[in-house]
Structure 1
Amino acid sequence: MGRLRSFFTPLHQRTSRDYLARMTDDKVGCMRVAKRYDADYWDGDRRFGYGGYRYDGRWAPVARAMIEAYGLTAASRVLDVGCGKAHLLHELRALLPGLTVCGLDVSAHALAGAPASVRADLRPHRAQDPLPFDDGQFDLALSLGCLHNLRLFELEAALAGIERVGRRKFVMVESYRDEQELFNLQCWALTCQAFFDTAEWVWLFERFGYTGDYEFIYFT
């Protein structure tokens, strides 16, 4: 299997979270709204998701780190499974003009709100459905903050697709290392289906034949 990375963790740690307030604020109702992945989730009230997913340049350091780690050039091809509003793809292309990118996401609202620089390269698609690409078609196939929203059998299918189409692979998922982080994750997560600690994730990656890199984010 690949390496444990830390591309996204510094960005994740910049946000403060009131875990108990979310848990006691009609959590079940908010989960039902969030799992529609529509305007409420992306740009509605914070209790339903992001609370306004507007771009402020924060993905640029992530893009630079990935370019360096994976040796990407303007001739490379990058796939983002669960791309959301595709801000990472936007930054990758800004740094590497001419880069071929493709973004997939279940949310029509997110895709419509993506930067104009990459909007034509995005398409609606569920991560767990077969990917319509050739084996090894992409130099890097990645998925950030998406796969933990799948059920176990869907997760296996999604990882198999990423493994098949990417020469290099990277996924980032939510996880926990102790009881406090598990509690915080359970309080905060609105869409998560896969609550696994780090050892369980690594076991699943190996069990499902995933050989790429990975990162865990924690709710401390």
Structure 2
Amino acid sequence: MAYVDLIREIHTATERDYLSRVTSHDKAVSSEVAKRFGSDYFDGERRYGYGGYRYDGRWKRFAAAIAAHYELQAGARVLDVGCAKGFLVHDLRTVAGSNATGVDVSRYAIEHAFPEAREHVSVADAVELPFEDSSFDLVVSINTLHNLRLPDLERALQEIERVGTGHSYIVVDGYRTGREKMNLMYWQLTCECFFSPEEWDWLFAQVGYTGDYACVFFE
């Protein structure tokens, strides 16, 4: 297992007003709505989630970085757990030339997936992936697993281990300082688990996750 930061460029490209997240609206209500992972979360107002984010190619460089780091060959089998509307799936297929597929627990996201990715994504729960053992050369999960409560997080990590062939890469929320922890708590809407990198390392060791990971930090 290694800490591999391929996400920082994308994460830091977005400006965030942490205080307004909790002062402009009732954040408890916003969080309750967001956790339904429906139309409000994906295509509603920013206070509920994405704020209607449309495909703009921002994941292309990330897909290329993944392909380069893991030396993906053309046709490599890649699974994106928590693929949302399939933007990264699309870029892993077109930029990296992989045979990428994705799953997401949100039926709304899959039904409204990016048209070019729609046939490659489906509804499934991370805690029970509908694939045979060792089905994928690489399994990725970006900004998804921290939305699970601890028992389900353990099962999801073990499922990633099961369906992969030894290579996996996940991105989860984390913090290194008190300020980063507070900013994370201000900003997040759907998190159930967020830890320091040292705590994530400990958890991975406990559940047997051997893949790579990175944390998103709210600086």
Classify the TM-score, shorter chain: over 0.9
2:124·2:130 contact (CA, 8 Å) conserved in 1? Answer: no
Report the counterpart of residue 206 of structure 1 in structure 2: 205
Deviations along 1:112-166, one digit per CA (max 9) or x if unpaired, are 23222221121111212x2221221100011000000000000000000001111
Deviations along 1:73-130, one digit per CA (max 9) or x if unpaired, are 2221000110111111101111244x322211011221123222221121111212x2
Alignment of 1:115-134 (within 5 A): 115-128=114-127, 130-134=128-132
2:63·2:96 contact (CA, 8 Å) conserved in 1? Answer: no
Task: Give SS of 1:158's match.
Answer: helix
> How many percent identity over aligned positions?
47
Deviations along 1:32-90, one digit per CA (max 9) or x if unpaired, are 10001111111111111111110111000001001111111222100011011111110
Residue 143 (structure 2) pairs with residue 145 (structure 1): yes
Number of residues paired by the alignment? 217
Report the counterpart of residue 35 of structure 2 in structure 1: 35
Tell me, which stretches of 5 or more residues in structure 2 are unaligned? none
2:64·2:96 contact (CA, 8 Å) conserved in 1? Answer: no
Distance 2:189 2:114 in 1: 25
Report the counterpart of residue 162 of structure 1 in structure 2: 160
Report the counterpart of residue 46 of structure 2 in structure 1: 46
Report the TM-score, using the length of structure 1 for normalisation: 0.95
RMSD: 1.1
Distance 1:12 1:96 in 2: 21
Alignment of 1:95-110 (within 5 A): 95-97=95-97, 99-110=98-109
Structure 1 counterpart of 2:67, one-letter code: I
Tell me, which stretches of 5 or more residues in structure 1 are unaligned? none
Distance 1:202 1:68 in 2: 24
Task: Give SS of 1:117's match.
Answer: helix
Report the TM-score, using the length of structure 2 for normalisation: 0.96
Report the counterpart of residue 216 of structure 1 in structure 2: 215
